[in-house]
């Protein structure tokens, strides 16, 4: 998936909400790739011969840092999505299919 092109202009409320939801989805996809790569790195380290307890401790610390950062980013993304639920104009128009335009 390439980067979306967002053109300035007469953007409707519905389009703005859609663009923001798409941006959250893209960020979620990126975070899942980061976690998957960390898991693959852990599998590689564990399967290596001669892996020391110190190596495993370093790997564990790295995994803790990555998962902590991803968790914090997930909370931010959740807050971003919750803005739409709290916004009366979004919940009364975009979310029920009436279109948002007057």
Residue 41 lies in a domain: yes
Banded pLDDT at 101 (limits 50, 70, 90): very low
Residue 6 lies in a domain: no
- The residue behind tokens 């968790």 is 71
Share the mean pLDDT of the chain.
Answer: 84
pTM of the model: 0.73
Count the helix, strand and coil residues of the chain and give each as a percent rounded to the nearest 5: 75, 0, 25
What's residue 10's pLDDT?
Answer: 76
Indicate the number of domains in the chain: 1
Alpha-carbon distances, residue 88 vs 32, 75, 76, 77, 98 (angstroms) = 31, 22, 21, 20, 13
Which phi and psi (to 5°) does residue 41 adopt? -65, -40
Residue 20 lies in a domain: no
Q: Which domain holds residue 80?
A: 25-88
């Amino acid at each position: 998936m390439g980067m979306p092109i967002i053109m300035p202009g007469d953007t409707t409320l519905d389009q703005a909400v859609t663009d923001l939801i798409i941006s959250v989805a893209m960020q979620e996809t990126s975070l899942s790739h980061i976690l998957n790569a960390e898991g693959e790195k852990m599998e590689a380290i564990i399967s290596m011969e001669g892996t020391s307890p110190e190596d495993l401790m370093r790997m564990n610390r790295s995994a803790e840092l990555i998962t902590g950062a991803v968790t914090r980013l997930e909370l931010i993304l959740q807050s971003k999505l919750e803005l739409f639920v709290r916004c009366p104009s979004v919940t009364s128009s975009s979310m029920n299919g009436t279109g948002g335009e007057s």
